């Protein structure tokens, strides 16, 4: 049984998949099982993956979206620990070994994750070399504010990047996997479920580069505001507090919810959908009545104003 199973769901990523796989094979921890689940690519992604031979196990399926690909990989995983890596991200060489060390220190934890670096193109249009980022100045310790029972923190944001995390295998056995019916916020929804059952450990020093694209999923204007739906349903089900008594104050939660409603509304205002824009901005104001600017945005939008991003 391998120590760690690494699962990479791939889809039309011929430009980056080799660099991603290379960063996995270059880990200082070698006791790994690497599975790539290709979700119906139509470019050279599968050909590139096949070129690695035995070190990489390629599973192919018809396009069913990233949740289905991740879940397929989890069902095939044999490792004691599982990592889920996006097909265009990058790991520093000590990532896996550092997380295994932390699990040994914290046998009560089900997840060890780390901070990450957003990887933007430079002025030449290229992504800077991973070695160009200064990580040594960041302490290589844990952040107690985002460690332990952190359900209450997930009520404010999806703090954990999928590619930066390592899970004990039994986490998925107990909590289930990704909800394939969700087109967005599916990772956040799963982290919330897991946070009701397992403790997390947050490493301050980044282990992962998170590649940024102009059409990141969180920049797409959607018909449903999945973030606010998720958070409202979560609070109705489990309230504001983690198992250790740490809580997110209700007023802070409502202010955060208002900002999400407002952001969603302003995105729709930019596209000219004043119906959804007005409805969401009104929800924002109801959650935080002191912010009269939410009502002002509605008035401005009705007169033709559009926000700039």
Can you point out the beta strands (E) in the chain? 4-10, 32-39, 56-61, 81-84, 90-91, 109-119, 166-168, 199-211
Q: Domain residue spans in the chain?
A: 4-219, 249-302
Q: Please say whether the dihedral angle defined by the alpha carbons of residues 158, 145, 210 and 79, taken in this order, is positive or negative.
A: negative
Q: Does the predicted TM-score (pTM) go above 0.85?
A: yes
How confident is the model at residue 85, as a pLDDT? 98
How confident is the model at residue 105, as a pLDDT? 97
> Is the confidence at residue 293, as pLDDT, over 70?
yes
pLDDT above 90: percentage of residues in the chain: 94
How confident is the model at residue 215, as a pLDDT? 56
Instruction: To the nearest 10°, report the CA torsion of 280, 286, 288, 292.
Output: 80
Residue 223's pLDDT band (cuts 50, 70, 90): confident
pLDDT in tens, 43-56: 999 999 999 999 99
How confident is the model at residue 297, as a pLDDT? 96
pLDDT in tens, 85-94: 999 999 999 9
Name every residue whose Cβ is closer than 8 Å to that of residue 134 and which is 6 or more positions away in sequence.
none
> Is the confidence at residue 218, as pLDDT, over 60?
no
Average pLDDT (86-112) is 98
pLDDT in tens, 134-163: 999 999 999 999 999 999 999 999 999 999
Can you point out the beta strands (E) in 195-253? 199-211
3-state SS assignment for residue 275:
helix
> Is the confidence at residue 188, as pLDDT, over 80?
yes
Q: Per CATH, is 4-219 categorized as 3.90.550.10?
A: yes
């Amino acid at each position: 049984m391998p120590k760690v199973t690494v699962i990479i769901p791939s889809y039309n990523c011929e430009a980056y998949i080799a660099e991603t796989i290379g960063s996995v094979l270059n880990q200082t921890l070698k006791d790994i099982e690497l599975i790539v689940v290709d979700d119906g690519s139509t470019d050279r992604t599968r050909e590139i993956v096949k070129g690695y031979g035995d070190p990489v196990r390629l599973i192919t399926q018809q396009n069913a979206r990233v949740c289905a690909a991740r879940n397929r990989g989890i069902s095939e995983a044999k490792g004691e620990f599982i990592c889920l890596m996006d097909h265009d991200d990058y790991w520093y060489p000590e990532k896996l070994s550092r997380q295994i060390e932390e699990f040994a220190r914290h046998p009560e934890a089900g997840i060890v994750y780390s901070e990450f670096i957003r990887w933007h193109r430079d002025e030449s249009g290229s992504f800077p070399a991973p070695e160009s980022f200064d990580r040594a100045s960041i302490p290589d310790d844990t952040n107690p504010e985002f460690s332990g029972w952190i359900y209450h923190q997930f009520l404010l944001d999806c703090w954990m990047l999928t590619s930066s995390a390592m899970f004990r295998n039994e986490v998925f056995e107990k909590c289930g996997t990704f909800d394939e019916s969700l087109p967005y916020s599916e990772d956040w929804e799963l982290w919330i479920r897991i946070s009701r059952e397992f403790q997390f450990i947050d490493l301050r020093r980044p282990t992962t580069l998170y590649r940024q694209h102009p059409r990141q999923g969180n920049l797409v204007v959607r018909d449903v505001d999945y973030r606010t739906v998720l958070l409202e349903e979560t609070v109705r089900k489990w309230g504001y507090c983690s198992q250790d008594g740490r809580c997110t104050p209700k007023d802070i939660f409502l202010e955060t919810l208002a900002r999400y409603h407002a952001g969603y509304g302003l995105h729709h205002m930019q596209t000219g959908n004043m119906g959804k824009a007005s409805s969401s901005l009104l929800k924002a104001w109801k959650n935080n009545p002191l912010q009269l600017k939410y009502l002002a945005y509605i008035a401005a939008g009705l007169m033709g104003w559009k926000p700039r991003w």
